[in-house]
Structure 1
């Protein structure tokens, strides 16, 4: 019957799309988008020869590499994710994707991304991408995350590598400039995640993940957040102070850093057990801060390119 056949065909198509959506969710698209964006900024700031076509392929490979790390993280953490309200609906705890499928998916993406980046850019950038995937999915996910409340501090290095990878993909060398961008993300990561951990400490306790609020308490976590904010605020202006960017970026970075510090101070001064609103405000602003910093870097690079082209 044509009507029945049409209904079956539509049902099969919807099922295929829903399965694809679950696999896309395994790649942690929001985390992947940040990795891709910061890698793109690293590429824009670097000096070197890389055609537009190769650059597109290279940034796609970095995106796939970030997705592979996310999939492998979800594969390993499925039993813990099932215990937390924030993560219980992820593809593995919900049963939408099997453990074997997630592992195979993550491994295939990892191999594919590293190989494609080596061909489209250079072996050094590919080696950095491979190191980042292994660091995040093995060193952080399978070990560090569960043994120390400083897990996010050390593990945050994985999320700070994309601009270095992007820079190296273009330049073919490990220069000092992208390490400034690495340090900004590295020092931003702990206060960003600790603000979230203050809001979700019961989840982490249920999953037996020793995040700082669970192990050291709320007051100690707020002290750590403030300490990192004190260092991060001036560091954001380092690309300007070292001549990597122009003055407009420097002023914006200083203003953003001052606001990050102010919000951290408000959270620090808020009495224990009534600090959910300041923690939520800091978490939200921390996302704005990092994107604004890197958007400003990208705009500065674009202005420099336009002025250089006009002058040439």
Structure 2
């Protein structure tokens, strides 16, 4: 162990380390979709107390998944430049502490959703947590080229947690929101995979770009984006949102497809992947903000 590593280990653990383990960026992006799902189901007739409890429970459940993901990936994280300085790979935090932190957070989050929101929201949270931690992180992420598709199931759960907090049923609105988030994730994460391909290869993750190459990955990205355009329009066709949303969803979807198409002729593949990845984040954020603004009133 060199002097830099020793210095990292000797640093005291702070509350910021616990916050970073829960990946606040991931929590925030998922919370936007959960909020959007809640708002669509409420149709502007908002139960503010229910909304607050849904947010708290969802934050804790998602945070639990991220913490347990850090725990399970601690050996792999030492091999990647963007993750090797995290608290677990550096030895700053004890694995058992992180494990119990994640478990307790999950139990509290599930309890909030079950007792203060709806049992269905809690069950959906449990499903998302199980798929993300045990099916995706512990199994598929290390063994299958289709790990991203499996992980997308858990990533598509937050909006229906919010939706079912109000409606308490998996109706058309819930499934449309699930489909939008499911389709969004593949081109989003594969853009990151192309950008960080060599890091994933070194860590031993069989991500699609690593196993099949960037050309095949770009074709797959294009397929999902093309499917996303008509799927996103279903919220309008089923009467949940207005024309502003429809126009924005179609325009942004077509532009994303255009970006994917440009990837086949990109001279700087890493720059293209970065641009596409950033746009995917902006797409989701803007889409759900417009969903909230343009939700049809009761």
Q: TM-score range by the shorter chain?
A: over 0.9
1:194 alignment partner in structure 2 = 190
- How far 1:47 sits from its partner (Å)? 4.1
2:24 alignment partner in structure 1 = 29
Question: RMSD between aligned alpha carbons?
Answer: 1.6
The answer to whether the Cα contact below 8 Å between 2:61 and 2:106 also exists between their aligned partners in 1 is yes
Match of 1:52 among 48, 51, 54: 48
Match of 2:236 among 234, 240, 248: 240
Matched, 1:281 2:280: no
Q: Which has the higher contact order (CA 8 A, sep 6+)?
A: 2
Choose 1 or 2 for highest CA Rg.
1
In structure 2, stretches of 5+ residues that fail to align are 1-10
So what's the TM-score if we normalise by structure 2? 0.92
- How far 1:24 sits from its partner (Å)? 0.5
So what's the TM-score if we normalise by structure 1? 0.88
The answer to whether the Cα contact below 8 Å between 1:233 and 1:261 also exists between their aligned partners in 2 is no
Residues 237-280 of structure 1, C-alpha deviations (whole Å, 9 max, x = no match): 22112222111110111110111011000012336xx3122111
2:101 alignment partner in structure 1 = 105
The answer to whether the Cα contact below 8 Å between 1:81 and 1:88 also exists between their aligned partners in 2 is yes
Residues 123-145 of structure 1, C-alpha deviations (whole Å, 9 max, x = no match): 11111111111110111100011
- How far 1:179 sits from its partner (Å)? 1.3
The answer to whether the Cα contact below 8 Å between 1:50 and 1:121 also exists between their aligned partners in 2 is no
Matched, 1:92 2:88: yes
Question: For 2:223 and 2:168, how far apart are their aligned partners in 1?
Answer: 35
The answer to whether the Cα contact below 8 Å between 1:40 and 1:163 also exists between their aligned partners in 2 is yes
1:298 alignment partner in structure 2 = 292
1:8 alignment partner in structure 2 = none
Match of 2:77 among 67, 78, 81: 81
- Which structure 2 residues correspond to residues 1-312 of structure 1 after superposition, within 5 A? 19-47=14-42, 51-270=47-266, 274-301=268-295, 304-305=296-297
